Amino acid sequence: MQRLGIRRKTLIALLGVAVPALIAFSALIILTTAHILQQNAGRQVSTLASRSAQGLAELVDHSQTTLRTMAASPELAAFRVAALSGSQLQLKTALARMEQSFLGWQKLDPTLQAIRLIDPAGHVLVKVKEGKVNQAAGLPQPPYRMPMVHFVGGRDFFQSALQLPENSILISNLERGKIDEEEAFCPAMVRFAIPLLAGDKRVGVLVINVWGDQAGRLINRVIAEQEGSAFLVERNPTDKKRNGIYLFHRDTTCEFGDQTGSHRTVLNDYPPEITTVWLTSDHGVTRDPRSRDMLAHAFYSPYAQKDRGWVVVVNAKRDFFLEPLATIGRLTGLWAVVVVILATAVSLYFARSLTRPLQEVVDGVRRMGQHPAERISVTAGDEVGFLATEINRMADAMQQQAAEKLRVEEQIRNTEKLASIGEMAAGLAHELNTPLGNIKALAVLSRKGIEQGECDRTALVADLNDIADQAGKCSGIIGGLLSFARRSEGSPANHNPTDLLLEAVSLVRLRAEKQQVTLKMEAGGELPMLFLDGDQLRQVFVNILLNGIDAAPGGNITITVTPDNDHLKIDFEDTGCGIPPEHLDRIFDPFFTTKEVGQGTGLGLSVSYGMLQGMGGRIDVASQPGRGTTFSVVLPVNNP
């Protein structure tokens, strides 16, 4: 027998070990470089986030400094004096000076959106907004008996600011402002408020609105768009509506989801393992498991609180910080060409000597699976050819075993059918005796009438009709038994389950009458047709009914048919003695029976079980000793 020379070929294949080693070394270099690049990128992105948070702190400090400077200005000092004196003239003069002072502040600091002076009752006495003075109007209002621009006394922010200690500043949420008496939103802003005291008396509150777009520009300058993105998020676990909302983002549609109604937050856009870190720690670097982008964050709280503030997030694209790997990849690509050439040569060598013959064997086995008569073509005398020969021999043996198994199963089915016929044939004598006796009596009477010359044509026709009727009954009885006894070719067709059940009941009726068993059938509504071998299913019904009749003499058998979606369930419930629990696991075993010798073969339920499996169905049994047994036949509704 020709050998493949596997050892020699293995030795040749091992010569290629150097090439995989080179590939492994190149991969190690790439992985190490990627790790170093990721570490460096992590430090850089973390630094960007920290610097951005520091920039936000500087913006807030600048606004606080501006507010304190304004509160200490001569104009505000003059207002304090006028507020204590109660002089209307002094108040008007002080308010007029403040209007001009506020206009000057807005020209000096473009970040200021609005400046307001509010009296202790909540009346806005002076308001400069976007470079214009909002004139006070209406009736004088206490406590200073001056007209107001509008009223804010009911707002929580004003009430909280009014109660602050001297020189303390209250900072609002970063949010879109509301235009007075309108539904539209202003761009994002932050309000800063400081109480005004004259001695121990609170004479008002000074509020400035600071544009938030400066913070947005700071965030957008952190990283170039082609390299990644940066955004600002609010941390506020005590306010579920604001916790995790976007304060600034290049995609402006996702900002302030609590106000715009989009309800979009980072909690919706990023995995929980990332957002939990953002909303609980001061700084850190994480990786997005979906895109493998690097995410660095830094927390800053203008409110001096650990659980409330702003989180700067810098999202560096994976391609950005791993871009140097592309150069290394190009260099290793040259080595990859060599590897491919070597691998191709080795593959061709093995394909000619081993892979191709094995593939032919595999294809032959696949053909044999689809067509059992097919065999593998043996073209060589080596190990592969020997393997193909043995597979062919095994296939021959399996095909013979399968044919023998089918023959034995068919013999078992025919044996059980003949046994069932034998059990039913015992009652045929009595069933046929009555109509045959009637036929004989009618024939004798007709013959006497003819011999005596007393033939009445009408009476003779009636007697002949009765004879034909009685002969039809005999023919029907024998025809049903012959139909049950004939050999089936096992060809499936559409059958009405009710018809098959009625035929089975008709076949066992004499046996049931002899055992004084009442057969009842209940079918709910119109039943679907079944595509299967009707003769085999009729034999299953007969086998189950005969077992029930023998188990319930003098009792009842109720047949219930129930459609269930794509299945049909047929229950045979008898009122017999039941099956002991220790026998339930064996009732479908061939030749197992609890009947006396000569009263059964022990094949009925076993054959029925096999036939139902071939139809794609099953048979279940439930029994209570002393109360009865229920056999359930479940069949698929699979019309072609």
573 DSSP β-pair partners: 558, 630
* 108-to-103, 113, 138 alpha-carbon distances in Å: 9, 12, 31
**Range 35-41, long-range pairs (CB < 8 A, 24+ positions):** 37/321, 37/322, 37/324, 37/325, 38/294, 38/321, 38/322, 40/321, 41/294, 41/316, 41/320, 41/321, 41/322
Instruction: Give the range among 31-45, 162-176, 621-635 with minimum mean pLDDT.
Output: 31-45
Pairwise pLDDT comparison (325 vs 506), residue with the higher score? 506
The Cα–Cα gap between 501 and 288 comes to 65
pLDDT at residue 84, rounded to an integer? 92
Taking the alpha carbons at both ends of the chain, their separation in whole angstroms is 53
Contact 188, 167 (CB under 8 A): no
pLDDT at residue 68, rounded to an integer? 96
pLDDT at residue 237, rounded to an integer? 94
Q: Give percent of the chain above pLDDT 90.
A: 35
Type of residue found at 640: P
* 495-to-568, 571, 636 alpha-carbon distances in Å: 13, 18, 13
Across 447-458, average pLDDT = 68
Q: 433 in helix, strand or coil? A: helix
Pairwise pLDDT comparison (34 vs 39), residue with the higher score? 39
pLDDT at position 521 over 80: yes
**pLDDT, tens digit (0-9, with 9 covering 90-100), for 49-69:** 999 999 999 999 999 999 999
Helices marked H in 294-378: 318-321, 324-350, 356-370
pLDDT at residue 514, rounded to an integer? 81
Helices marked H in 371-426: 383-425
Per DSSP, which regions of 486-612 are E strands? 493-495, 518-523, 530-532, 556-564, 567-574
Across 610-627, average pLDDT = 84
**pLDDT, tens digit (0-9, with 9 covering 90-100), for 424-452:** 555 555 555 556 666 766 676 667 667 77
**pLDDT, tens digit (0-9, with 9 covering 90-100), for 117-154:** 999 999 999 999 999 999 999 899 999 999 999 999 99
Pairwise pLDDT comparison (462 vs 263), residue with the higher score? 263
Across 317-337, average pLDDT = 71
pLDDT at residue 602, rounded to an integer? 47
pLDDT at residue 597, rounded to an integer? 43
Contact 623, 575 (CB under 8 A): no
**Phi, psi dihedrals of residue 568, rounded to the nearest 5°:** -125, 125
pLDDT at position 203 over 90: yes
pLDDT at residue 63, rounded to an integer? 95
Q: How many CB atoms lie within 10 A of CB 132?
A: 11
Question: Quick one: pLDDT band at residue 207, thresholds 50, 70, 90?
Answer: very high
| Domains of the chain and any CATH numbers | 72-214 (3.30.450.20), 495-640 (3.30.565.10)
**pLDDT, tens digit (0-9, with 9 covering 90-100), for 220-266:** 888 888 888 999 999 999 999 999 999 999 888 899 998 888 899 99
pLDDT at residue 2, rounded to an integer? 44
Mean predicted lDDT score pLDDT of the chain: 80
Would strands 493-495 and 170-171 be described as parallel, antiparallel, or unpaired?
A: unpaired
The Cα–Cα gap between 251 and 229 comes to 10
Pairwise pLDDT comparison (166 vs 539), residue with the higher score? 166
Task: State both tokens at 621.
Answer: 């049994």
pLDDT at position 46 over 70: yes
Contact 159, 39 (CB under 8 A): no
**pLDDT, tens digit (0-9, with 9 covering 90-100), for 627-638:** 888 989 998 987
The Cα–Cα gap between 167 and 193 comes to 10
**pLDDT, tens digit (0-9, with 9 covering 90-100), for 275-326:** 999 999 999 999 999 988 999 999 999 999 999 999 999 999 887 767 666 6
**pLDDT, tens digit (0-9, with 9 covering 90-100), for 369-396:** 676 777 777 666 666 666 667 777 787 7
Contact 572, 617 (CB under 8 A): no
CA dihedral 281, 283, 285, 287 (to 10 degrees): 40
Pairwise pLDDT comparison (513 vs 34), residue with the higher score? 513
pLDDT at residue 499, rounded to an integer? 84
Instruction: Give the range among 159-168, 348-357, 411-420, 486-495 with minimum mean pLDDT.
Output: 411-420
Global confidence as pTM = 0.51
pLDDT at position 37 over 70: no
* Residue 371 CB-density burial (10 A; 0-12 exposed, 13-18 middle, 19+ buried): exposed
pLDDT at residue 438, rounded to an integer? 62
Q: Give percent of the chain above pLDDT 70.
A: 70
**Phi, psi dihedrals of residue 293, rounded to the nearest 5°:** -70, 155
Question: Quick one: pLDDT band at residue 356, thresholds 50, 70, 90?
Answer: low
The Cα–Cα gap between 281 and 263 comes to 24
Question: DSSP character for 254?
Answer: G
Instruction: Give the range among 367-371, 568-572, 590-594 with minimum mean pLDDT.
Output: 590-594
pLDDT at residue 1, rounded to an integer? 42
